[in-house]
Structure 1
Amino acid sequence: MKLLNQSLLYVSIAMLFIIGIWSLVFYVNLKDEIRDSIDDGLDNNRLLILQKIKSDSTLFNQNEFGGNNFKINPIHKPLALKAKDIYKDTLMYRLNEDDLEPVRILHTVFEQQNNYYKLTIISSLVEEDDLIEDSLWSVIWLFVILVTSIIIINNIVLRKIWYSFYNILKQLKTYRLDKDSSAINVKTNTKEFKELQNASNMLIKHSKDTYTSQKHFTENASHELQTPIAIIINKLELLLESEYLKEKDANTIAEVLNISGRLKKLNNSLLLLAKIENKQFLEQKNISINQVSKTLLSDLKELAEFKKIDIKIEEINDCNVTINSSLAEILISNLIKNAIFHNTENGTIRLNFSENKFTICNSGNIVALNPETIFQRFTKNTTNNKSTGLGLAICLAICESYGISLTYQFKENKHCFSVDFKNSQALV
C-alpha cells in the first residue's frame, strides 16, 4: 500500500472513530434532554391536577384516559406507601388513532382526605420522536459529510505534502549509475525531505565510487590475469613439444596444463559474474528465445549425438524478450550444456517454449538436487574436475539482473529448469 493511501487510511479510521463516538454521544444527549423536558411537563401537569382536585372533586371519577391525558384510581394504603414516581416510555391506543402511539407515562401516588389514589399522566411522544428521528438523520448526514470532506481535504493536502517524497522516489527508481551524472534535486521546504534528498545523494556518490572502482578492477583483472595465464599455457604447450622431455615429466606438464586451462575458464567465469553484477552489459534488443536455443542446440549437436541423447522441442508460442543478446546466449547455453553434461547415455532432453516461459528438462541422476544450494557458486553435483561450479550461478545472476524467475524442479525423474519472464524487465 502506498504511503499516501496508508496515511489516508489511518486518518479516515481515526475520524470515523472520533466523529462516530461524538455522533452517538450527541444523539444520546439529545434524546435524554428531550425526555427530561417531557418529564418536567408531566411533573408540572401532576401539580396542576392535584391543585385542581382540591376544588373539583369530580376529577376522582376520571378512571380512564378517554379524551384526557390522565386517570385517577384508588389504591390501598400499603401499596401507596411503597410506591414511587415512575417515568417510562410505552405504546398505547388513543382516541382517533388506529395504531399504537408512543407516549411518555408518569405513575405517581397522592393522598386526599386520608384516601390514597394512583395518578397516571401521559404525554404523546409523536412530535418528540419525529424530532429525534430528524435529528438522527441530520447527525448521520453531518457525519457522512464531515468524514467525506475530511478524506477529500486530507487527500489533497497529503498529496501536496508528499509530492516531494514521490518525486525523490521517482528519480531514485530511474537513476542509472552508468549514465546519470547529476545529483537528485527536488525543491522542497520540508526538513525531512531535504534530509532524505541529501542522504540519497550521499548514497549515490558512494555507490558511484564503488561501481567505478569495481568496474576498473574487473577491466584490470581481465587484462592482468588472462595475459599471464595465456603465457603459462603457451609455454607449457611448447615445453610438451620438446624432444628431450621424459614421459613422466610430460605427464606432469600435461596435468599442469589442464589445471591452467581450468584456471583460465574459472577466471573468465568469475569476471563474467562481476560484469553481470556490475550491470556492464547495457545494450539490449528484442530477441527470440526459441531461435537462440535452436542455434545453440545446433552448435552442441555433436556432443549430444556422442552421448546418444534424444532432443525434442515443443513450441506453444514464440518467447520474445528484450535482453542483452550475449547474456541471453550465455543463459540458454549454460542450461543446455548443463542438461547435456549431466545427462546419461541414451538420455532425453525436452525444451518447452511458451509466450512467457522457457523450460528445459533432462534425464540424469534419479535423485533430486537441492534447490536451495544448486544455484550457489562452486556447488557441484559431479566429481568431474572440468566443471567450475559457476554455470548455474551465472544463470541466476543474469536472471536476477532482469528480475527473471529461475527455478528448479524434479518431476517424473527429470531435472527441470524453468525461466519465467512474466513480470520481468525483459518481457516484451
Structure 2
Amino acid sequence: MNKRQTFNLLSKITLFYLIFTFVVFYFNAKFLTREADEFIDSDLNRRFGWLEHRVQYHLDKGTPADSLLGNSIKKIEKVSKRCKKTEYPIIEDVTIYHSDIERNLIHRKKIVLIESNKQLYRVEMDKEVQNYYYFRDDIFDYLIPSFVVLIVITVAFNLLLQGYFLRPFRRILEQMQLFKVGKSEDIQEVKTMTKEFVEMQNLFLTMVKQIDADYNHLKEYTEDVAHELQTPLAIIRNKAEGLLFSEKLEEQDAKVVKTIYDEANHLSRLGTTLNLITKIDNGEFTAVTELNTSEEINNQIEAIEELAQLKSLVIEKELSEEHSLTIDPYLFDIVLKNLLKNAIRYGTSEGPIKIKTTQNTLVISNYGKPLSFAKDQLFQRFVKGSDSDQSLGLGLALVAKICAVSILEIDYKYERHQHIFTLKG
C-alpha cells in the first residue's frame, strides 16, 4: 500500500488562508483598478467640460478662435453645418513625444463641435493623463509585493508557531507511541489550554485505563490457567510414566499410556509457548542490549550436537566475531533454539546443517524436502509439515513474533534442496 503524503494541520490552514487572501487581493485590485478608471474618466470629463464652457463663452463674445489656443486647447476650426454630428464627441488616448523630457507620454484627446453665432466650430482638446495611469498601475505594483510580504510573514509565523501551539499535541502523540500495555502509570498529563487537545488527552487516558484493565484481566486469566494446568498435567505425566515402567502393563495398554504421556507433554509445552507469545506481544521483555552472538551460538551448538548426531547430521559453523544484534538475550536464546531445533527436526543426511554469521546477517540452513504447504504460511501459528507429529507448529511463529518486536528481519527461501533462514539486524 502506497504511503500517502500528509501535511500538518497548521500548514493546511495557512495554505487555505493564503489562497483566500490571494483571491481577496486579486479581486480587490480589480475593483480598485476599475474605480481608478472611473475616477480618471470623471475627472477628465469635468476638466474637458470646463474647457468647453470656456471656449463657448469666449466665442459667444466674439473672441477670435486663435486667441483661445493654449496648453489644453490644441485646435479650433470652422466646419460646415452639414458635417456628421453623430460622430462627435471623439475621445481617444494618444501618445505624444515631449522633447523637453525626451519621453512619450499618454494624452487623452477629445474633439467636440461647438455652435456659436450661427457658426459651427470643431474644437480639439487634450490632457496629459500619464500620471493618472501611473496611479492606476501602482495598485497592482503595490498589491503584489504586499501579498508576497504577507506570504513570507505568514509562512515564517507558521514555522515559529508550529513548535509552540502544537507542542502539547506532539507530546500527547509521543506518549501514545511510547505507551506499553500494563504501564499506564508512566503516562504524565500534558498541560494545555487548547480545548481540542484536552479532549484528545482525556480520551487517550480513558482508553489507556480500559486497555490496562482488560490486559490485566486477560493476563491474570492466562497465568492462572497456565499455572493451574501444569499441576494436573504433571500428575498425568508422572502417573503415565509410572505405568510405562510397570511389569504388569500389557503391550496394547502401554501404547495407550504412551499416547496419554505424549499428549500431556504436548499440552504442557503448548500452554507454555502460547503464554510466552502473549508476553512477547505485551512487550514484557525490555532488557534489550547489543548482543554479540558468537558465544551464544557456540553454547547452543554444544547443547544440540548430540541430538544432531543421533540423526546422523553434521553441524558446520562459520562465525564472525563482529556479528551482533540489538535484542533481549532471553528472546535471542528462544529464536536460536527454535531455528536449530527446526533444522535438526527436518534436516536430512544429504548435507550438513550450516550456521554462518557475517557483520549483518545470521544464516541457518539444512538439507531437506520442500515444504508441503505455501511459503507464506511458514511463520503462521499451528502450521507444520505432515511428517512432524511431535511439533506444536508454533516454533517459527514464535521466531517471527520475536523478530517483529525486536525490529529484526527474518527471511526464508528453499534452493538447491536446502531450507535457508536468514536473520538480519
Which TM-score band (shorter chain)? 0.7 to 0.9
Equivalent of residue 19 in structure 2, options 11, 17, 20:
17
Name the CA distance, whole Å, in 1 between partners of 2:201 and 2:136: 56
Name the CA distance, whole Å, in 2 between partners of 1:180 and 1:391: 31
Q: Provide the residue aligned with 1:146 in structure 2.
A: 150
Q: Provide the residue aligned with 2:113 in structure 1.
A: 110
Instruction: Go from structure 1 to structure 2 and tell me whether the alpha carbon gap of 1:410 and 1:103 turns closer, same or farther (over 3 Å shift).
Output: farther
Q: Provide the residue aligned with 2:325 in structure 1.
A: 320
Higher alpha-carbon deviation: 380-389 or 368-377: 368-377
Q: CA deviation at 1:234?
A: 2.2
Instruction: Go from structure 1 to structure 2 and tell me whether the alpha carbon gap of 1:36 and 1:239 turns closer, same or farther (over 3 Å shift).
Output: same
Aligned AA (1:36): E
| TM-score computed with the length of structure 1 as normaliser | 0.76
Residues 213-252 of structure 1 deviation map (CA, whole Å, 9 limit, x = unaligned): 3333343333322232222222222212222222222233
Q: Provide the residue aligned with 2:39 in structure 1.
A: 37
Instruction: Go from structure 1 to structure 2 and tell me whether the alpha carbon gap of 1:45 and 1:134 turns closer, same or farther (over 3 Å shift).
Output: closer
Segments of 5+ residues of structure 1 without an aligned counterpart are: 422-428
SS at match of 2:265: helix
Equivalent of residue 219 in structure 2, options 198, 201, 215:
215
Higher alpha-carbon deviation: 256-265 or 110-119: 110-119
Residues 152-182 of structure 1 deviation map (CA, whole Å, 9 limit, x = unaligned): 5566666555444444444444455555637
Instruction: Go from structure 1 to structure 2 and tell me whether the alpha carbon gap of 1:26 and 1:302 turns closer, same or farther (over 3 Å shift).
Output: same
Aligned AA (1:29): F
Q: Does 1:262 align with 2:266?
A: yes
Residues 286-325 of structure 1 deviation map (CA, whole Å, 9 limit, x = unaligned): 312344334334433445564546745474952231x321
Q: Does 1:392 align with 2:396?
A: yes
Instruction: Go from structure 1 to structure 2 and tell me whether the alpha carbon gap of 1:190 and 1:246 turns closer, same or farther (over 3 Å shift).
Output: same
Residues 359-378 of structure 1 deviation map (CA, whole Å, 9 limit, x = unaligned): 54555445696454322211
Name the CA distance, whole Å, in 2 between partners of 1:207 and 1:385: 38
SS at match of 2:291: strand
Name the CA distance, whole Å, in 2 between partners of 1:260 and 1:75: 130
Higher alpha-carbon deviation: 6-15 or 215-224: 215-224
SS at match of 1:242: coil
Q: CA deviation at 1:12?
A: 1.3
Instruction: Tell me, yes or no, if the aligned pair for 1:42 and 1:121 is still in contact at 8 Å.
Output: no
SS at match of 1:249: helix
SS at match of 1:12: helix
Instruction: Tell me, yes or no, if the aligned pair for 1:310 and 1:346 is still in contact at 8 Å.
Output: no
| TM-score computed with the length of structure 2 as normaliser | 0.76
Higher alpha-carbon deviation: 172-181 or 218-227: 172-181
Q: CA deviation at 1:274?
A: 2.4
Residues 68-124 of structure 1 deviation map (CA, whole Å, 9 limit, x = unaligned): 785789899787635675555x7564434656x352544655366787959574634
SS at match of 2:8: helix
Instruction: Tell me, yes or no, if the aligned pair for 2:114 and 2:120 is still in contact at 8 Å.
Output: yes
1:342-421 matches, within 5 Å, as 342-347=346-351, 353=357, 357-366=361-370, 370-409=374-413, 415-421=419-425
Q: Provide the residue aligned with 1:204 in structure 2.
A: 208
Higher alpha-carbon deviation: 136-145 or 374-383: 136-145
Instruction: Tell me, yes or no, if the aligned pair for 1:38 and 1:104 is still in contact at 8 Å.
Output: no
SS at match of 1:300: helix
Q: CA deviation at 1:327?
A: 0.8
Instruction: Tell me, yes or no, if the aligned pair for 1:12 and 1:147 is still in contact at 8 Å.
Output: no
Instruction: Tell me, yes or no, if the aligned pair for 1:71 and 1:119 is still in contact at 8 Å.
Output: yes
1:237-316 matches, within 5 Å, as 237-304=241-308, 306=311, 308=313, 311=316, 313=318, 315=320
Equivalent of residue 330 in structure 1, options 331, 334, 340:
334
Instruction: Go from structure 1 to structure 2 and tell me whether the alpha carbon gap of 1:158 and 1:82 turns closer, same or farther (over 3 Å shift).
Output: same
Instruction: Go from structure 1 to structure 2 and tell me whether the alpha carbon gap of 1:251 and 1:138 turns closer, same or farther (over 3 Å shift).
Output: same
Aligned AA (2:243): L
Report how many residues are paired: 411
Instruction: Tell me, yes or no, if the aligned pair for 2:291 and 2:329 is still in contact at 8 Å.
Output: yes
Instruction: Tell me, yes or no, if the aligned pair for 2:76 and 2:121 is still in contact at 8 Å.
Output: no
Instruction: Tell me, yes or no, if the aligned pair for 2:89 and 2:113 is still in contact at 8 Å.
Output: no
Residues 35-62 of structure 1 deviation map (CA, whole Å, 9 limit, x = unaligned): 3333334434544554538455449999
Aligned AA (2:323): D
Q: CA deviation at 1:396?
A: 2.2
Q: Does 1:81 align with 2:120?
A: no
SS at match of 1:254: helix
Name the CA distance, whole Å, in 1 between partners of 2:184 and 2:336: 32
Instruction: Go from structure 1 to structure 2 and tell me whether the alpha carbon gap of 1:116 and 1:310 turns closer, same or farther (over 3 Å shift).
Output: farther
Instruction: Tell me, yes or no, if the aligned pair for 1:76 and 1:116 is still in contact at 8 Å.
Output: no
1:40-55 matches, within 5 Å, as 40-44=42-46, 46-47=48-49, 50=52, 51-52=54-55, 54=59, 55=63
Instruction: Tell me, yes or no, if the aligned pair for 2:109 and 2:127 is still in contact at 8 Å.
Output: yes
Name the CA distance, whole Å, in 1 between partners of 2:110 and 2:372: 88
